[in-house]
Amino acid sequence: DDDDDDDNNGGDDIRHTYDETRNVQTVTDTTYRADEGRQGEESLGELTFCGSSRLKDVKQLLKEWMISCPEPQDDDVAMVTEYLVKLVQHRNLEKAFILLKFLTRKVMSQRSHTWEQCVYNIVKCVQN
């Protein structure tokens, strides 16, 4: 019964574990995996970007996106922005910060005004 007391403490208990068997709910091209089976606690999960959740894999996807497109497409920008905003909303600030720094560094090396403006707008959206 001690376990029951620990599981229901008003939602203040933040769990940092992830179970591969959790439910999957798709939101556009980002996926949110949430444990909906527990009563009395906030659903927590792991966000994915195009099926990837590891920082290394997301960075690679962003790098490939920037290399493969001479100009960013609105749909792609919206998807990246939504993913980064969701990271912040789910309090994964470190990952969001690392990815924003990564995008900024990549865009500076490309020296493309269009990409610079795109990343600037993504940063502004995420910071709001």
> Residues with Cβ < 8 Å from 70, sequence gap 6 or more?
112
Structure confidence at residue 45 (pLDDT): 63
Stated pTM of the model = 0.64
pLDDT at 84 over 90: yes
Q: Which long-range contacts (CB under 8 A, 24 or more apart) does 90-95 make?
A: 90/44, 90/45, 90/47, 92/47, 95/55
* pLDDT higher at 33 or 15: 33
Q: Where are the domains of the chain?
A: 2-127
Average pLDDT, the chain: 74
* Residues belonging to the chain: 128
Reply yes or no on whether the pLDDT at 30 is more than 80: no
Q: Which CATH class is domain 2-127?
A: mainly alpha
Which of 13-27, 36-50, 112-126: highest mean pLDDT?
Answer: 112-126
Tokens 């990564």 belong to residue: 102
Q: Among residues 76, 89, 86, 90, which one has the least CA distance to residue 121?
A: 76
29 vs 120, higher pLDDT: 120
